[in-house]
Amino acid sequence: MEVVAISAINKKNSHVLSLDSLRGIAALLVCGGHYLQHLGLERYFPSHQAVILFFVLSGYVLSLSLGKSIQTFLYPRFIIKRIFRLYPAYYFAIIFTTIFVTGLSVVNFHYVCNWFLLVTDIGNLFSSIKMIDRPQIGHPIDSVTWSLTYEMIISAFFPFLYLFFYRVVAGNLLRSILAFCYVFFGFLVFIYYKIAIYSVVYYSVYFVIGMYVASNIRNLKFLSSYIFIIFGVFLFFNNSLICLLGFQINNIYCIDIYSSMGAVLLIIACEHNSWLINVMKNKIIYFYGRISYSFYLLHGPMLYIAFKFLNSWNILLLLATSFICASVISYFSFIYIEQPMMTLAAFINSSKRKGC
């Protein structure tokens, strides 16, 4: 019995580590895409595709969590956990940006000057504080965090989607058909109605894709071989690789669809392929997996500060310095903000459970 228990614990730890590391790679890709804009090479780096990977991963991880607690699920506990997970580090990033970025004179260097707006009125500040405001546009203080709007809104109604698919609908075939219809509908409405509410539906499609993978992960083990890993990487980097050949996919929806399919294959491999699981144990990759959320929030402001104070430096040295500083401050944000807030959320939920 002890051997079985230890084996289960090790498997669980490898599962969590692999997914965290994959999230770290996604954060590095977003950062790399923004950095390479200043070298004119952003088209070769899948920064937007990395956001799609984040969404698919969120749907996958949330579904695993809901699946484990489905018998005792309470929506208030779920939403408390999500709020404490997303908002505290986000507020730290907003405060950091307000003090150290918007208080500086405007940096007029390539793209970075368009990422931040000065806090000229209280409305900009409150719009950023709410997080769920201004879908598609982004937050006026730190617009590179636009995806958090969708993350929070979709997280709020995602449990009801999950409960519908896996508590109301009976039969895997019917669930598959409904999931396909939802994905198709999501793409269709956004293509024809490019307004905020439909963009929420569109990005929720990737959460549903992650949900479907999570619910069928055991049956999808045959997609974890090396050939599928290579194919997944090709799909995920589709536009970047095609750009290297001198071509480009102009349809963003095609790019997103291909990237989401690549994300699916990579998630499956992270669960079943022992070679990739070992790769994901790399300490550097796992480090960025742990700090990925704070790093996503803070790499933009740090880049702005670097251009403000180090604009006479060699561009590669400037970018490297910004990257290191962003990594350090993100680590402290993870240790002193993210972890304590997640612990606090767990304590509040456990207290509520005992009170019941």
pLDDT of residue 65: 86
Residue range 321-342: mean pLDDT, rounded:
95
Rounded Cα gap, residues 181 and 339, in angstroms: 38
Q: For 127, phi and psi rounded to 5 degrees?
A: -60, -40
Query: Higher-confidence residue: 44 or 254?
Result: 254
Residues 6+ apart with CB under 8 A from 129: 91, 94
Say how many C-beta atoms besides its own lie within 10 A of residue 173's C-beta: 8
Confidence category of residue 2, pLDDT binned at 50, 70, 90: very low
Give residue 44's Cα distance to chain centre.
20
Q: What is the pLDDT of residue 69?
A: 73
Q: What pTM value is reported for the model?
A: 0.85
* pLDDT value at 40 more than 80: no
pLDDT above 80 (res 188): no
Phi, psi of 332, rounded to the nearest 5 degrees: -65, -35
For residue 73, CA distances in Å to 65, 330, 341, 352, 353 come to 10, 32, 21, 13, 11
**78 is in which domain, residue-wise?**
2-355
Mean of pLDDT over the chain:
79
* 124, pLDDT greater than 70: no
Tens digits of residue pLDDT in 197-228: 677 888 888 999 999 899 889 899 999 999 99
Residue 131: other Cβ atoms inside 10 A: 20
pLDDT at 173 over 90: no
Q: Count up the domains in the chain and report the number.
A: 1
Phi/psi at 139 (5° precision): -90, 135
Q: What is the pLDDT of residue 3?
A: 34
pLDDT tens, position by position, 258-286 = 899 999 999 999 999 999 999 999 999 99
